[in-house]
Amino acid sequence: MDYSKKTKEELIDEIIILKTKQNIVFKEEIIKVSEKSYKDLFDNSLSLLYIADREGIFIDVNKEVIKKYGYKKNEIIGKGFRFLAAPNKNDLESVLVKMKNVWNGKTESFEWWSLKKNKTIFPKEVILRKGNYFGKNVFIIEGRDITSRKVIEKHLKENEEKYKTLFTKTLAGVFITEKEIIKDCNNSFSKIFGYNSRVELIGKSVSMLYFSKKDREKYIKALRKKGFLTNYRIKHKNKKGEEIWISTNVFITDKGRIEGTLVGITEQIKAEEKLIQSEKSYKELSESSPYGIFVHVNNKIIYGNKQAYKILGLNGKTIKRFSFADFILPENKKIVAERTKNSLMGENIPFKEFKVIKPLTKEAIYVESKQVVYNYKGEKATQVVFSDITNEKELAKERLRAIIAEESNKILQKEIKERKETERQLIESEEKYRDLFENATDLIQSIGIKGNIIYVNKAWKKTLGITSKEAENKNIFEIIHPSSLKYCKKFFKKAIQEKGNKNSTIAFSLMSKEREQIFVEGSVSVKFKDGKPHSTRAILRDVTLEKETEQEIRKKENIINEITETINDVFYMYNILEKKYDYMGSNSKDILGASPEFFYSGKSHTQEYGHSEDIKKLKIANKKVDKGVPYDIDYRVIINGKTRWINEKSFPIKNKEGKTIANSGICRDITGIKKTEEKLKNSIKEKEVLLKEVHHRVKNNLQVVSSILNLQSSYVKDKKTLNILRESQDRIKSMAFIHESLYQTSDFSKINFSEYIASLSKNLVHSYGVYDELVELDLSVGSVFLDLDLSIPCGLIINELVSNSLKHAFGNNKKGLIKIELFEKNENVILKVGDNGLGLSNEINYKETDSLGLQLVMTLVEQINGKIDLNNKKGTIFTIIFKKEQ
């Protein structure tokens, strides 16, 4: 084209048209770049992002939504918000009200249950805002899956229930003190100090449990210095003022609150003192040996000579901090354990070379050692004899090192350097979409490669309490928490050195303006410009609440573990709903014969080891577990061919609705108690046999005396004397009846006195030669059991009163009735003996008469601490009342 022929005005018009076209092309390029940048941010967000119109119809969703729900994007676009709602889980009317509020300018948040394509549901937290989308007003919906938070909340509640059960059921003492006052404790704590109940101690000063104020001050000083104490031993005073020793695991909070557990170790302290006195005898035998010598029982070192200390760089004080296993490298532990096992079985173990660690310097040395098992002070111990062969090994190493170095130099002569560069376009223009990301709940930041802050959104500034102006003058490494600084610098350096457009996940801590620690996690990517790293962009989420919740759970779990480690019984927690053990005490192998792993695998020790005779009662107990009923049973298990008795107590754990969801239990080895009971039963049987023989011989002796009196009466002509002999004979027979009843019964402590009365009264009637048609016996006796001290006096009383009635009440050949009543009333025994005969004259004082029989009755009534009363209006009736339990 010939521009020389055109006028100046024509040339100016063409230039203006050309520039206008260039501006249009430039703006179109900016729009394309902006749209791509928006799409990158939108799709790479960790949140579930939705764009919906005023009616709730989805216009756009990000990749996280597609990934979460399992739908394709075109399956969601055009659908209403109800399409992703879980059936019957959400208040839709309430959501519609919130949508109306948001459209009028408010921001709403609520929990929402969503439905995936595979029909599974999950909870999420929703933030609903009004925003602008390509010039149109829309709903900007941001969702976050809160399933893990719900699980954490459930787990925390379960741990609180476990802690409460342990606090009340454990045999270890659990306590909380604050400002020298006992704020809380369990009953096990009170029993250790000799008190009947925790009520006696709560609210009292802790000083009442100490002999010396200095002991308490020393203990508190040590606790404040470390923040916690493990197996700390201290002397205390019990309720009686006696000295006791306890071992405590305790920690102190920032506010001075002291919490912990303790167990009594008084007997253990006494045993240790005896052991210390006897240790000197062995030392003289090995101190002069050129070999190092250790003696250990189950890895606990009980003796070491000077040469052993010298080889391992220890002394008599520092050795106490270590067990024999601390010297053994992990790769050698199995073979050392095998050698120890073989030596315990009597095998001769040869010398073998090992690499061991000096525990103080962590220096590795080589030793040659041999193990011997022998009886040390009445205990089966392992003696390890060893010598240092490090110098010999080092010489061999140097020779090998020279050979390896020569080969390495040949390989290291060749260097390889390879580098690939890819460039990723980040946002050049963000003004059109700033409303979406500026109001996001995630923390969004863009950081220069030197750490300078290029951009942060509102959520970032609000969370850290930093203004936009303050952020401009800050370096990101000033805001990163000291605990994460080293890690973040290394991560940042590695990220900008890596090539390619790669997203990396990160979790670290920021520090707010108030210097509070903020835990965050998210993704980081690097922006390249002209092929070089220009900045990093991160989308982060504040997870401080989740971290604090996790720490609280770990704290409670640690408390539970500390408590269970201090008790001798086996504690367990069984999940009824999932039919599995949630917890099993670490000492289950010692008590129940099965390790915790055995129970966690779903096995039952009662099915594997239970005694066949106890299977029925164990099945009944299992049914009680399912019904939420507590039980307390004794049963047998057979472990390694030996029978062991176990006592098991089970307690149901219920949820708020009263449904049993688990049961906690405690198992105790009661084999020793059962053996003692068996010995006691055998001893009682022996004594019962002896006691039967005694009563039998007493009865025989009394019958001999009665026979002698009967024989004597055949030589007596005087009627009065003959009556005296007969009365004496009847009295002896009444006592003989009692001893006869005793050796014929299974219970030697009591006699069925009702049966005795029937036998005694009938025998008296026949002994006086009275026929049944003349004298009628009316016996109204209840079931009354009396001990020996009451039976003999009562038998003699009945003997005297019935004899009097037979001799004096009816005259010659006159018919009559003798009535005997016996019954219990208000812890008293009431005995009535009477007749319908002539009666006792009013002129006779029955309490002070010359009659030997009545005198004997009064004496016997006094002997049993009873009262006697006479009614002689119609015949004669004596009423005697006495206490059954004297």
Whole-number percent of the chain with pLDDT over 70: 81
CATH number 2.120.10.30 is the correct assignment for the domain at 678-883: no
d(CA 793, CA 270) in angstroms, rounded, equals 55
Is the confidence at residue 162, as pLDDT, over 60?
A: yes
More confident residue, 534 or 103: 103
If you average pLDDT over residues 773-785, what whole number do you get? 87
* Contact status, residue 533 vs residue 526, Cβ threshold 8 Å: yes
If you average pLDDT over residues 325-340, what whole number do you get? 83
pLDDT class of 632 with cuts at 50, 70, 90: very high
Of 234, 241, 194, the closest CA to residue 217 belongs to 234
More confident residue, 404 or 337: 337
d(CA 741, CA 754) in angstroms, rounded, equals 11
Decide: helix, strand or coil at residue 443. strand
For tokens 């920690």, name the residue.
251
Average pLDDT across the chain, whole number:
81
d(CA 643, CA 812) in angstroms, rounded, equals 75
pLDDT class of 394 with cuts at 50, 70, 90: confident
Is the confidence at residue 100, as pLDDT, over 80?
A: yes
Quick one: tokens of 675? 């053996």
pLDDT class of 125 with cuts at 50, 70, 90: very high
Q: Which CATH class is domain 568-669?
A: alpha beta
Residue range 169-207, pLDDT digits in tens:
677 889 999 999 999 999 889 999 999 998 898 999 998
Of 339, 506, 320, 522, the closest CA to residue 440 belongs to 522
Q: What are phi and psi of 422, to 5 degrees?
A: -130, 145
Q: Please state, in angstroms and as integers, the Cα–Cα distance from residue 189 to each residue in 195, 207, 523, 732, following that order.
A: 9, 15, 51, 60
d(CA 173, CA 695) in angstroms, rounded, equals 52
d(CA 48, CA 33) in angstroms, rounded, equals 24
CATH superfamily placement of domain 152-271? PAS domain (3.30.450.20)
pTM: 0.33
Bridge partners, residue 438, by sequence: none
* Contact status, residue 636 vs residue 644, Cβ threshold 8 Å: yes
Quick one: tokens of 449? 């490669």
More confident residue, 416 or 309: 309
More confident residue, 150 or 411: 150
Predicted pLDDT at 69: 92
Q: Which of 37-41, 308-312, 354-358 has the lowest mean pLDDT?
A: 37-41
* Contact status, residue 666 vs residue 585, Cβ threshold 8 Å: no
More confident residue, 653 or 323: 653
d(CA 24, CA 32) in angstroms, rounded, equals 12
Write the Ramachandran bin of 253: left for phi over 0, alpha for psi from -120 to 50, otherwise beta.
beta
Q: Which residues contact 241 (CB under 8 A, 6 or more apart)?
A: none
d(CA 114, CA 48) in angstroms, rounded, equals 12
Residue range 470-514, pLDDT digits in tens:
888 889 999 999 999 999 989 888 888 876 667 788 999 999 999
* Contact status, residue 779 vs residue 820, Cβ threshold 8 Å: yes
More confident residue, 587 or 248: 248
Residue range 13-31, pLDDT digits in tens:
665 665 555 554 444 554 4
Is the confidence at residue 34, as pLDDT, over 50?
A: no
Q: Which residues contact 173 (CB under 8 A, 6 or more apart)?
A: 185, 186, 188, 189, 190, 191, 192, 246, 261, 262, 263
If you average pLDDT over residues 576-589, what whole number do you get? 87
Predicted pLDDT at 762: 85
Maximum Cα interatomic distance, the chain, rounded to a whole number of Å? 191
Residue range 719-775, pLDDT digits in tens:
888 877 877 777 777 777 766 765 566 555 677 888 888 888 888 887 776 655 678
Q: Which of 208-217, 301-310, 579-588, 764-773 has the lowest mean pLDDT?
A: 764-773
d(CA 465, CA 13) in angstroms, rounded, equals 56
Predicted pLDDT at 831: 96
If you average pLDDT over residues 210-232, what whole number do you get? 90
Neighbour-count burial for 857-882, b at 16+ CB within 10 Å, e otherwise = bbebbeebebebeeebeebbbbebeb
- For 106-114, the CB contacts below 8 A with 24+ separation are 111/146, 112/85, 112/143, 113/85, 113/86, 113/89, 114/69, 114/84, 114/85, 114/86, 114/143
If you average pLDDT over residues 34-58, what whole number do you get? 78
Quick one: tokens of 327? 């010297």
Q: Which of 189-193, 322-326, 557-561, 656-660 has the lowest mean pLDDT?
A: 557-561
Predicted pLDDT at 420: 41
Predicted pLDDT at 423: 39
564, with CB counted inside 10 A (0-12, 13-18, 19+), is buried
d(CA 638, CA 606) in angstroms, rounded, equals 9
d(CA 50, CA 79) in angstroms, rounded, equals 12
Q: What are phi and psi of 181, to 5 degrees?
A: -115, 140
Is the confidence at residue 280, as pLDDT, over 70?
A: no
CATH number 3.30.450.20 is the correct assignment for the domain at 45-145: yes
Task: Supply angle C-alpha 714, 719, 720, rounded to 5.
Answer: 115
Predicted pLDDT at 427: 45
Residue range 787-805, pLDDT digits in tens:
878 988 898 899 889 988 8
Whether the domain at 45-145 and the domain at 678-883 fall into the same CATH topology = no
pLDDT class of 166 with cuts at 50, 70, 90: low
CATH number 3.40.50.620 is the correct assignment for the domain at 279-393: no
Whole-number percent of the chain with pLDDT over 90: 27
Q: Please state, in angstroms and as integers, the Cα–Cα distance from residue 303 to each residue in 83, 315, 317, following that order.
A: 76, 11, 12
| Domain parsing of the chain, residue ranges | 45-145, 152-271, 279-393, 568-669, 678-883
More confident residue, 131 or 719: 131
Q: Quick one: angle between helices 719-744 and 753-767, nearest 10?
A: 150
d(CA 387, CA 798) in angstroms, rounded, equals 94
| CA dihedral of residues 168, 173, 178, 180 (deg, nearest 10) | 140
Is the confidence at residue 611, as pLDDT, over 70?
A: yes
DSSP string, 845-871: -GGG-S-HHHHHHHHHHHHTT-EEEEE
